[in-house]
Structure 1
Amino acid sequence: MIAERTGYIIWFNDWKAARALDKYGTLHYMSRKMNYAVLYVNAEAAEDTVRNVQRLPYVRKIERSYRGEIKTEYERNVPDKTRFYGL
């Protein structure tokens, strides 16, 4: 069974030092220009991991990602008009 994961956006000051964030979870993306990283961690150990990451000297701010809570299934209420414009 796949473990439940939680995403965090980590804002940092030093890009080279921030590459070490992969030991705290799955490092999905790092932006050099905007100085942030997307880190996924197990949901059960998320609070402990966030506390440990917050103590790092190069971390400015940590935000929780709401990507898992956004609705991704859409309803189509508009009728399909392609058959009216066909050849």
Structure 2
Amino acid sequence: MIAERTGYIVWLHDAKPARNLDKYGSLHYVSRKMNYAVIYVNSDRAEETMKSIQRLPYVKKVERSYRSEIRTEYNSNMPDKTRFYSY
């Protein structure tokens, strides 16, 4: 059974110690230019993990990712116009 995951964006003072975040969850992405990391943790322990990450000296702030709440199923009421542009 697959556990529910919650994504967090961790803003950092420096991107070099970001590899230490791997012990808190799945480290998905690290931006060295913008100094942030994306980490996924289990939903049942997400709040405790977030509090422990915030205590780290190289972390500015932690934000929850709302990617799972964005609607990804699209429907269109407009007709397909590709047949008008074909030769």
TM-score class, shorter-chain normalisation, is over 0.9
Per-residue deviation, 1:80: 1.1
Could you tell me the percent identity over the aligned residues?
Answer: 70
1:22-37 equivalence runs, <5 A: 22-37=22-37
- Structure 1 length normalisation: TM-score? 0.94
Q: Matched residue pairs, number? A: 87
- Which amino acid in structure 1 is aligned with residue 59 of structure 2? V
Q: Does 1:51 align with 2:51?
A: yes
- Which of the two has greater helix per residue? 2
Aligned Cα root-mean-square deviation (Å): 1.0
Q: Which residue of 2 aligns with 1:79?
A: 79
Q: Which residue of 1 aligns with 2:69?
A: 69
- Structure 2 length normalisation: TM-score? 0.94
Deviations 1:34-78 (A, max 9, x none): 000000000000000001101000000100000000000100111
User: Hey, what's the Cα distance between the residues in 2 that align with 1:73 and 1:25?
Assistant: 28
User: Hey, what's the Cα distance between the residues in 2 that align with 1:25 and 1:11?
Assistant: 16
- Which amino acid in structure 2 is aligned with residue 7 of structure 1? G
Per-residue deviation, 1:82: 2.2
Question: Does the residue aligned with 2:82 lie in a helix, a strand or coil?
Answer: coil
Gaps (5+ residues) in structure 1? none
